[in-house]
A and B are shown apart, each in its own frame.
Chain A
Amino acid sequence: GENVEQHPSTLSVQEGDSAVIKCTYSDSASNYFPWYKQELGKRPQLIIDIRSNVGEKKDQRIAVTLNKTAKHFSLHITETQPEDSAVYFCAAKFGGTSYGKLTFGQGTILTVHP
């Protein structure tokens, strides 16, 4: 079935360190992989996304890498800041009858300590 596994479920880092969150997906036909950040009491916000014709995408301190052969993708945050503390969700858009559907990972609670 359509499944997205996300690890770790919680991640604690010191300010300035890097943080890495990994996701694996089940459907090799997927070719769109967004990452969302959700602060407490707020809506999920798209922070970066990648399509399967690209192996890596970077936006300032945030980067996403995609390995289609292994069916996994990762979020990398460098030089973390306390305002990066939030829940991060990965997602994959599956093909076939699930053409417009995003399937989400279970989320990672990132805490950045000053």
Chain B
Amino acid sequence: KAGVTQTPRYLIKTRGQQVTLSCSPISGHRSVSWYQQTPGQGLQFLFEYFSETQRNKGNFPGRFSGRQFSNSRSEMNVSTLELGDSALYLCASSQGQGQGYGYTFGSGTRLTVV
């Protein structure tokens, strides 16, 4: 079974630009979550999608957005990039919502904003 696939693996962008990251969950997984990982803040929850609907959102500005498609693939977008957006962005998929389901992480997209 293929794991969670994130593309691209690395990105370098300039301040003010926008970026779109992609996540393909494990086959059959319907829930996709996004996390930002930085050395100072650890793993911070961005948002979660289930059945194409955003179910939860973390404390990030509106520049961070996402969506989920009917095949459960998800994208996240960051507009008007700032230097502080440099981070590892991790996607995780799960079979479903609810407290009984665990998450499997992808390898992440390393975003560098210069």
Contacts and interface: CB of A to CB of B under 8 A. Distances in A.
Interface of A: 30-32, 34, 36, 42-46, 49, 51, 89, 91, 93, 95, 97-107
Contacts, number: 64
A44 B105 contact: yes
A89 to B, nearest CB: 6
Interface residues of B, number: 26
B22 interface: no
Contacts of B45: 101-103
A98 B108 contact: no
B104 interface: yes
| Majority SS at the chain B contact face | strand
Interface stretch (B12-20, B48-56, B65-73): B48-56
A23 B104 CA distance: 21
Contact of B107 (A42, A46, A91, A101): A42
